[in-house]
Amino acid sequence: MADAPILGSTKKLELDADVFGAPFNGPLVHEVVVAELAARRRGTHATRNRSLVRGGSAKPWRQKGTGRARQGSIRAPHFAGGGVVFGPSPRSYTVKVNRKARRAALRCALSIHAERGSVFGLDAGGFDAPSTKQARELISDRRGGSVLVVLSGPDEAPAFKSFRNLAGVTVLAADDCGVADIVGAATVVFSGDALDSLTERARKKEVAV
């Protein structure tokens, strides 16, 4: 069974072989990452079409006799200040992905970090009070890129506040951590409870009816 060293300690966290030993499936991970990033979009973008732009109820000039092309409204799209023809409108970017596929992609993302040796444990209980200096010292040797720290529970609030001020470090709760977050990080650091939560989520089976 694979394990992950705990930062600042000689102890190690045991990694579940089924979760951290899965083969990497690139297309599946890509599908889930695209779905997660799309779901984060608010989709509130909008422009005004000619029916929403104020004014333009009267013809700008008479139909005939002026030598100019006939026009019905100064709020037509080809006028300055007119409505937008094919502008964006509020929509949902949600893409459906099966739960089994999401779990499999999570296993792939965790397994690739385990294979690279970029998974580390964290004793979140070692923070009696928020200390950015203590957090910096723990990950000083692991700053080859972006660092994702995954915590769980209100008891780990001092650790959360300690890491969140460090540049290049992202701190997330285990319930909010997705495949895109894990894949996008060069190093992943888990507290014991957060690791158990993610492991259970990745191994969750369908209930037979």
Average pLDDT over every residue of 48-56: 92
Which residues touch 57 (CB under 8 Å, ≥6 apart)?
A: 73
Domain extent listing, the chain: 3-24+98-203
Over residues 138-164, mean pLDDT: 85
pLDDT of the residue at 98: 94
pLDDT of residue 207: 52
* 14 CB neighbour count, 10 Å cutoff: 13
Q: How confident is the model at residue 204 (pLDDT cuts 50, 70, 90)?
A: low
Residues 19-45 have a mean pLDDT of 94
For residue 145, give the amino acid letter.
Answer: G
Residues 63-105 pLDDT 10s: 999 999 999 999 999 999 999 999 999 999 999 999 999 999 9
C-alpha to C-alpha distance for 197 and 175, rounded to whole angstroms: 8
Instruction: Give the model confidence (pLDDT) of 176-202 as tens digits.
Output: 999 999 999 999 999 989 999 999 999
pLDDT at 142 over 70: no
Please give the sequence-ordered ranges of beta strands (E in DSSP) within 24-173, or none if there are none.
Answer: 119-122, 147-151, 169-173
Residue 105: how many CA atoms within 13 Å on its side-chain side? 24
Q: What is the pLDDT of residue 208?
A: 52
What is the pLDDT confidence band of residue 11, given thresholds at 50, 70 and 90? confident
Q: Are 89 and 47 in contact (CB under 8 A)?
A: yes
> In the prediction, which pLDDT does 7 show?
87
pLDDT in the model for residue 125: 83
92 φ/ψ angles, rounded to the nearest 5 degrees: -100, 135
- pLDDT for position 74: 93
* Mean pLDDT of all residues belonging to the chain: 90
pLDDT (average), residues 34-56 = 93
Q: Using an 8 Å Cβ cutoff, are 138 and 8 in contact?
A: yes
Residue pair 186/194 in contact by the 8 Å Cβ criterion? no
Task: Give the strand pairing for 12-14 and 147-151.
Answer: unpaired
Please give the pLDDT value at position 140: 83
Per-residue exposure over 91-106, b if at least 16 CB sit within 10 Å of its own CB, e if not: eeeeeebeeebbbbbb
The pLDDT, as a whole number, for residue 143 is: 60
Using DSSP's 3-state secondary structure scheme, residue 186 falls into coil
Mean local confidence (pLDDT), 100-127? 92
Residue 92: per-residue pLDDT: 94
Q: Which CATH class is domain 3-24+98-203?
A: alpha beta
Rounded Cα distance, 151 and 192, in Å: 8
Question: What are the angstrom distances between the C-alpha of 87 and each of 57, 68, 90, 145?
Answer: 22, 28, 10, 39
